[in-house]
Amino acid sequence: MHSSYTTADLQAALRARMGDAAILTEAAEMLPFCRDWHGDVTSNAVAVIRPRSTAEVCEAVHVCRELGLSIVPQGGNTGLVLGAIPDRPESQVILSLERMKAVRSVDPDDFSMVVEAGCILAEAKEIAASKGMFFPLALGAQGSCRIGGNVSTNAGGINVLRYGMTRELVLGLEVVLPDGTVFDALSTLRKDNRGIDLKQLFIGAEGTLGIVTAVAVKLTPCPDSVATALLGLNSLEDVMQLYRRARRDCCDLMSAFEFMPPIAFTLAREAMPDLAMPIGGDCPVYVLMEISGSGLVDVDELMQRFLENVLEDGLVIDGVVAASAAQARNLWLFREGMNEGQARRGMHLRTDISVQLSRLPDFVREAEAAVAAAAPDCICVSYGHVGDGNVHLNVMPPSGLSAAERSVRIHTAKKVINAVLGRYHGSISAEHGIGRLKRTDFEERLSDVQRHLLTAIKKAIDPAMVMNPRCQLNLGELS
Ligand SMILES: Cc1cc2nc3c(=O)[nH]c(=O)nc-3n(C[C@H](O)[C@H](O)[C@H](O)COP(=O)(O)OP(=O)(O)OC[C@H]3O[C@@H](n4cnc5c(N)ncnc54)[C@H](O)[C@@H]3O)c2cc1C
């Protein structure tokens, strides 16, 4: 058991087996791996292990088991639910996939690509693009998050309404299991109905069942024309009406439909002061909409005709259409920059909620009213992937409060939002996962049958509880 070793003993044993280059133990070197993206939580670890191959991951699992250490897998460490940083630093290592980033193959005929888990999402997208292909997963963290992390969180993002969540983009997986053996299902077959699809178990498992080492993904033709518009509307009800119209009029060519409040402009410019305002900024709510196509499809004409109709009907009251790729990028920077703006205002409540599409406006109104009543000095910032019924209803306490006072506000706001969410039969995690941050809320809402099944799967695959303990579920200590 690890308790008979000092930390120095454990570190020396890891070095002896894995080699110096694979092991980090200095506090300064480990800090970026041990701190969450927002900087709210800083942890520690016995070491950070950085294997370069699947065989080295297997070796790392064997040595950790021998030493009684549990393993917290880590990709880009952009997860927002504390799943990738240790909660018991004295008995845990971080296993970072950052040195496993090779692209094993890109096949334009098969529309598929096989990448190692540590490949950064943006780089995978660029490599696909260089072959005239498109990997549709797109999220604000794509410059840092890694494919293995995307698979392990079943990431969503801005293109879900057209291409689906990560699960729908995965063709095959290679996973190192908690006993150090390899589950090799790295197939690029489109159809394969041979019984239970085991790879699905590891998608969204947040590292609790094994370490994803490589992923085969679906590609699509590169959308060579993209039309992007930022539109101002009067209400969230009008947003939903616009969405229904766009679904019908733009068919399946709509690739993004995001809503955001006017404070998004202020927050984004706090993070990026040079961002030029593209629009007045005084409408009650904004929509960032994108339609894209390839080949013979004329998306510019489609966007123009669509907007003419909705402007004429008074559904849209202000708007700008990007005239170039650079202008489109500028519009997206407001959507992405508002996250960083919120982070700069200090610790705040971040939610990741989904409700039935048609009930989204009622939910947001009711939940914001509940927060205003319970924590009147806080600001609600509701935005998100409206086409998926997914809203980030975040709550920012006023500046100048102590950390303890902020925590009280956050706790209060979360409680009242979750109470409203319960009445709407919604989800507390539409896309970010459970990690350790949402574990209690998740466990409280599980039925007996769900808990039984999840526990049975975990115990069958990881009976010694080596993989990411207390992430998603708290099933006790190492056996
Ligand atoms: C600015 C910003 C915007 C974001 N936008 C979105 C969004 O639109 N949609 C969305 O879904 N998420 C979003 N996220 C959250 C985050 O980017 C995603 O969850 C992403 O998929 C995490 O990938 P990662 O490589 O950073 O994983 P990490 O944070 O390193 O890990 C996440 C979880 O997966 C596990 N894990 C990581 N790699 C592996 C592996 N190879 N094998 C097994 N387990 C592993 C970890 O243990 C942890 O539990 C955003 C985050 C930020 C900071």
Q: Mean pLDDT over residues 362-386, rounded? A: 96
Q: Is 242:230 a contact under the CB 8 Å cutoff?
A: no
Q: Is 264:339 a contact under the CB 8 Å cutoff?
A: no
What local confidence, expressed as pLDDT, does residue 479 receive? 45
Q: Which two three-digit tokens encode residue 367?
A: 């939940």
H or E element that contains 58? helix 54-67
Side chain identity, residue 305: R
Confidence of residue 63 (pLDDT cuts 50, 70, 90): very high
* Test site for ligand 1: of 93, 153, 208, 333, most ligand atoms within 8 A of the Cβ: 153
Q: Mean pLDDT over residues 34-42, rounded? A: 92
* Test site for ligand 1: of 123, 139, 206, 438, most ligand atoms within 8 A of the Cβ: 139
Percent composition of the chain: helix, strand, coil (DSSP 3-state, to 5): 40, 20, 40
What local confidence, expressed as pLDDT, does residue 336 receive? 87
- Determine the distance separating the centroid of ligand 1 and the alpha carbon of 80, expressed in angstroms: 7
- Determine the distance separating the centroid of ligand 1 and the alpha carbon of 208, expressed in angstroms: 14
Distances (CA, A) of 27 to 30, 45, 48, 165: 5, 9, 10, 36
What local confidence, expressed as pLDDT, does residue 233 receive? 97
Residue 306, helix vs strand vs coil? helix
- Determine the distance separating the centroid of ligand 1 and the alpha carbon of 75, expressed in angstroms: 7
Q: Which pLDDT tens digit goes with each residue over 425-448?
A: 999 999 999 999 999 999 999 999
Residue 159, helix vs strand vs coil? coil
Atom of ligand 1 nearest to the CA of 206: 49
Atom of ligand 1 nearest to the CA of 147: 25
Nearest residue (CA) to ligand 1, atom 36:
149
What local confidence, expressed as pLDDT, does residue 421 receive? 97
4 pLDDT exceeds 90? no
- Determine the distance separating the centroid of ligand 1 and the alpha carbon of 36, expressed in angstroms: 11
Q: Which pLDDT tens digit goes with each residue over 89-146?
A: 999 999 999 999 999 999 999 999 999 999 999 999 999 999 999 999 999 899 999 9
Distances (CA, A) of 275 to 158, 269, 272, 333: 21, 6, 6, 8
Confidence of residue 3 (pLDDT cuts 50, 70, 90): low
> How far apart are alpha carbons 164 and 118 in whole angstroms?
22
What local confidence, expressed as pLDDT, does residue 40 receive? 86
Ligand 1 binding pocket (C-beta < 6 A) is: 37, 72-80, 83-84, 97, 117, 139-141, 145-146, 148-150, 152-153, 155-157, 206-207, 211-212, 339, 431-432, 435, 468, 471
Confidence of residue 364 (pLDDT cuts 50, 70, 90): very high
What local confidence, expressed as pLDDT, does residue 478 receive? 43
Side chain identity, residue 204: G
- Determine the distance separating the centroid of ligand 1 and the alpha carbon of 145, expressed in angstroms: 6
Q: Is 379:352 a contact under the CB 8 Å cutoff?
A: no
Average pLDDT along the chain: 95
CA-closest candidate to residue 96, choices 55, 146, 142, 138: 146
End-to-end alpha-carbon separation of the chain, Å? 10
Laid out side by side, the sheet with 353-354 consists of: 318-321, 225-233, 285-293, 254-260, 379-385, 390-396, 353-354
